[in-house]
Structure 1
Amino acid sequence: MRVAVMGAAGRMGKTLVEAVTQADGVELTAATVLPDSSLIGADVGELAGVGKLNVALAGSLQDIVDDFDVLIDFTQPETTMENLTFCAEHGKKMVIGTTGLTDDQKAHLAACAEKTAVMFASNMSVGVNLCFKVLDMVARTLGDDYDVEIIETHHRHKVDSPSGTALSMGEAVAGALGRDLKKCAVYGREGQVGARTREEIGFETIRAGDVVGDHTVLFANEGERIEITHKASSRMTFAKGAVRASKWLESHDKGLFDMQDVLDLR
């Protein structure tokens, strides 16, 4: 599979470049930066610190349209939607790790997936996706007798809140309990809010320093607490998952998938 990395000059982009170069079965053949970037034309391998790859940074997908089979995109929602439209129109597959998508943007994902293969996940870590599976089992076993709170911590630069992973964890728990997360989610508490209801799922968000990503789901009842925690110390965790997804898409021409599909956790 010929892979292109979107936003290759960013922190995640550089990590993705490194991950692709380390993996078997994929080849980094294209990469992009912002259209007005002074880095256009530079070698992406030298930028990422992995050595010269003879792959020049481009300013748009149109410039590399013939050079890749699958695009990996961890950028911003609006940019990702534009790239998704481009990939669907040109028969390119796409792996999306961008978070903070609206319902309309997720609907656009589904529409484009009717034309090409799209893998979208709020978190591509194998460990986190195992946590989703575990959370479903734990929630079904405990039922409605336990309060549920989700605490997440990320670096100071993260722009969306709560994290996409935290929301996915909430969706896993809510689905297992037969609840609608949009109706039962509570995002932070302040003032005289009264006692918590049994149905609500609380979210607490912390932004500080350079934390890559910590997530804890707390199930609490009188007399005991159960905590399911995942801590990421390197972006390489997510990058390796994205590369794994890219290889997995090779056998799929169209459809909308997530990491549960890639890892056969359904």
Structure 2
Amino acid sequence: MIGRGEAMAQLQFGVIGHKGRMGHALEAAIADAGHIMHVGVDAGGSIGPFAAHCDVLVDFSAPDALSANLGAARVSGKPILVGTTGLEEEHFVMLAEAARAVPVLQSGNFSLGVTLLAHLVREAAARLGPEWDIEVLEMHHRMKVDAPSGTAKLLGEAAAAARGIDLAANMESGRHGQTGARREGNIGFATLRGGTVAGEHSVIFAGPEERLTLSHSAENRMIFARGAVKAAAWLVGKPAGRYTMNDVLGL
């Protein structure tokens, strides 16, 4: 959210996926920040006809809609913030291509606290040796459809990058049965689902006879909406390129 001492022009937001839980939170956060949701379209709708009249597009819809939404941003020349989860490698290729033409900011989590947590995870992973095992634990509400969460992957990527390894090649999840001993250097993921939990994430560094845990708890999805609105407003006026929440916070 914009601080009381900061002045910013009122912006027109185009929100894709506005009928979902996150869409409702975004609408409230946009109003709280003094901006306007110029248009909201459902996850299956097209922002294309309205994009030219918006200052920034915000996409919290579905992976299979990403191509069309990025296309609308490119045609209209508008910056786009993408918070859709469950993205695969092909989607990241699309994001990179779109970023050649317009500013693109994509993240698995727009919480300012989680952004700082990822920074701390990166610092810890870089300084603690390979004898420190890394495990990522996350819990979300029963309705969440993808696992591990985008935030869990973000934290795992932060740890992997700090150690100079590829997460996909060093990821352990869904352990069951006779799995054998844990392989040194792997990053483990555990997923919990139930109730109405907005989001709980912990990164555990388990070393010889000691353990370090870095955690974040989301009490309400409004923290993600406020962070997304702050990031989208920051994106307006930036040159074409890929941006992250680290850029927004100057990390």
Structure 1 length normalisation: TM-score? 0.87
Whether 2:41 is the aligned partner of 1:32: answer yes
The count of residues paired between Structure 1 and Structure 2 equals 241
Report what 1:18 is aligned to: 28
Residues 212-231 of structure 1 aligned to structure 2 (within 5 Å): 212-231=198-217
Does the CA-based 8 Å contact 1:174-1:181 persist in structure 2?
yes
What is the RMSD of the two structures over their aligned residues, measured on CA atoms? Answer: 1.4
SS in 2 for 1:119: strand
Whether 2:97 is the aligned partner of 1:111: answer yes
Output the CA distance in 2 between the equivalents of 1:125 and 1:81.
25
Whether 2:240 is the aligned partner of 1:254: answer yes
| 1:66 Cα deviation after fit | 3.7
What one-letter code is carried by the residue in structure 2 that aligns with 1:3?
Answer: F
Residues 156-167 of structure 1 aligned to structure 2 (within 5 Å): 156-167=142-153
SS in 1 for 2:130: helix
Residues 41-56 of structure 1 aligned to structure 2 (within 5 Å): none
Identity of aligned residues (%): 41
Q: Deviations over 1:167-214 (max 9, x none)?
A: 111111111112211111011211111111221111001111111111
Residues 1-266 of structure 1 aligned to structure 2 (within 5 Å): 1-24=11-34, 26-33=35-42, 59-265=45-251
Output the CA distance in 2 between the equivalents of 1:159 and 1:254.
32
- Gapped regions of structure 2 (runs ≥ 5): 1-10
What one-letter code is carried by the residue in structure 1 that aligns with 2:19?
Answer: A
SS in 2 for 1:239: helix
What one-letter code is carried by the residue in structure 1 that aligns with 2:70?
Answer: L
SS in 2 for 1:228: strand
What one-letter code is carried by the residue in structure 1 that aligns with 2:17?
Answer: G
Output the CA distance in 1 between the equivalents of 2:169 and 2:43.
38
Does the CA-based 8 Å contact 1:132-1:172 persist in structure 2?
yes
| 1:142 Cα deviation after fit | 1.1
What one-letter code is carried by the residue in structure 2 that aligns with 1:222?
Answer: P
SS in 1 for 2:101: coil
SS in 2 for 1:144: coil
Q: Deviations over 1:136-195 (max 9, x none)?
A: 111112121211111111111111110111111111111111221111101121111111
Does the CA-based 8 Å contact 2:148-2:189 persist in structure 1?
yes
Q: Deviations over 1:43-66 (max 9, x none)?
A: xxxxxxxxxxxxxxxx53234234
| 1:34 Cα deviation after fit | 5.3
Does the CA-based 8 Å contact 1:188-1:202 persist in structure 2?
no
Does the CA-based 8 Å contact 2:30-2:229 persist in structure 1?
yes
Structure 2 length normalisation: TM-score? 0.92
